[in-house]
C-alpha cells in the first residue's frame, strides 16, 4: 500500500499509522445492541455503514484514527490547524534552524474578474513577476541566516522568514473529523493548494476505510455541494419533464463539476 503522496513541489502527505477500519465502524455501531459479531458480512455491513453515514450517526466513525506526517508551506499548514479536532506536533523554529525550502508555484493566479472574494484563477504574468518572487524568497532567507550567524536567537530570527517556507507536522485525527476537514477543503471554494492536500488525504483514508469514505463521498459530499436549483432540475429530469435551455446548460456544468470532484 502506498503510504505517501507527494503534493506541490516539495510537500507530501504520509500515512504513518492507523487504527481501525470499516470493520471497527460496524462493531462500534452494533455494540449498542450488545451485538458482538466480528465477522465481516459483504451484504449487510456496507449497507449499515451507508445508513450510519446518511443519518449522521457519527460516533462509530470516530473509532477509526489516523496519524499523518504532513510537509506543507506555512500558509497551508495554518489552514490545517484551523481544524481544532486534530492533535498537532509541528517542527519548532525555536529549537532548530528552519530549512531553506520554499514553495515555488508552477503558475501564478489572479483575483481579477472573480466575484467570489476567496476565489482565484490562473493568470498571465511576465517573467519579471516570477523573478521577483524568487528574489523575495532569497532576500528574506538571507536575512534570517544573517541574524542566526550574528547570534540572534532562533525564536526571534524566524520573524523575518518569508511566509512560504515549508514546515512539517504530525497530525492525529479520527475518521469523522477527517471527513469534516475534507468536506471543507475539497470544495471549489477552498484554496487550490489545500485542495491538493485534501485530495491526498482522501486517497490515503480510502485505503484504510474504503466503504466508509466512499459512502461519505457519494452520499454526503456530492449531495451537500448541489445547489437548490441543481436539485430541482434533477428532479424535473427524473420526472422526464422537458428542460429549458438554461436548465440544460446547468446540467452540463454540473456534469463537468461532478467529474472533477
Which residues are the active-site residues?
185
Q: For residues 5 and 12, is the Cβ–Cβ distance under 8 A?
A: yes
The x, y and z cell numbers of residue 209, run together, are 476505510
Q: For 147-173, what is the HEC assignment?
A: HHHCCCCHHHHHHHCCCCEEEEEEEEE
Determine the Cα–Cα distance for residues 167 and 66; give it in Å rounded to an integer: 20
**Which has the closest alpha carbon to 219: 211, 209, 228, 227?**
211
- Residue 219 CA to residue 249 CA, distance in Å, equals 24
For the chain, what is the total number of helices (H) and then of strands (E)?
11, 7
DSSP E strand stretches across the chain:
4-7, 11-19, 65-73, 87-90, 109-110, 121-122, 166-174
By the 8 A CB rule, do 182 and 99 touch? Answer: no
Q: How far is it, in rounded angstroms, from Cα 230 to Cα 146?
A: 57
- Alpha carbon 92 to its chain's center: 23
Amino acid at each position: 500500500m502506498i503510504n505517501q503522496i507527494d503534493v506541490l513541489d516539495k510537500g507530501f502527505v504520509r500515512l504513518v499509522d492507523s487504527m481501525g477500519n470499516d470493520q471497527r465502524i460496524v462493531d462500534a455501531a452494533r455494540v449498542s445492541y450488545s451485538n458482538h459479531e466480528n465477522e465481516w458480512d459483504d451484504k449487510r455491513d456496507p449497507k449499515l455503514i451507508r445508513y450510519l453515514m446518511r443519518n449522521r450517526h457519527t460516533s462509530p466513525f470516530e473509532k477509526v484514527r489516523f496519524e499523518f506526517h504532513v510537509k506543507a508551506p506555512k500558509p497551508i499548514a495554518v489552514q490545517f490547524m484551523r481544524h481544532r479536532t486534530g492533535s498537532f506536533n509541528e517542527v519548532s523554529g525555536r529549537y532548530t534552524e528552519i530549512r531553506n525550502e520554499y514553495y515555488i508555484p508552477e503558475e501564478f493566479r489572479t483575483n481579477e474578474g472573480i466575484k467570489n472574494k476567496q476565489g482565484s484563477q490562473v493568470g498571465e504574468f511576465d517573467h519579471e513577476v516570477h523573478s521577483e518572487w524568487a528574489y523575495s524568497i532569497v532576500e528574506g532567507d538571507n536575512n534570517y541566516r544573517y541574524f542566526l550567524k550574528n547570534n540572534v536567537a532562533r525564536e526571534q530570527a524566524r520573524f523575518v522568514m518569508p511566509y512560504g517556507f515549508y514546515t512539517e507536522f504530525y497530525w492525529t485525527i479520527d475518521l469523522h473529523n477527517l471527513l469534516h476537514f475534507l468536506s471543507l477543503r475539497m470544495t471549489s471554494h477552498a484554496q487550490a493548494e489545500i485542495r491538493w492536500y485534501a485530495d491526498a488525504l482522501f486517497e490515503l483514508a480510502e485505503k484504510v476505510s474504503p466503504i466508509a469514505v466512499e459512502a461519505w463521498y457519494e452520499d454526503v459530499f456530492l449531495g451537500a455541494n448541489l445547489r437548490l436549483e441543481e436539485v430541482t432540475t434533477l428532479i424535473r429530469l427524473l420526472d422526464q419533464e422537458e428542460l429549458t435551455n438554461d436548465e440544460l446548460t446547468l446540467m452540463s456544468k454540473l456534469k463537468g463539476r461532478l467529474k472533477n470532484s
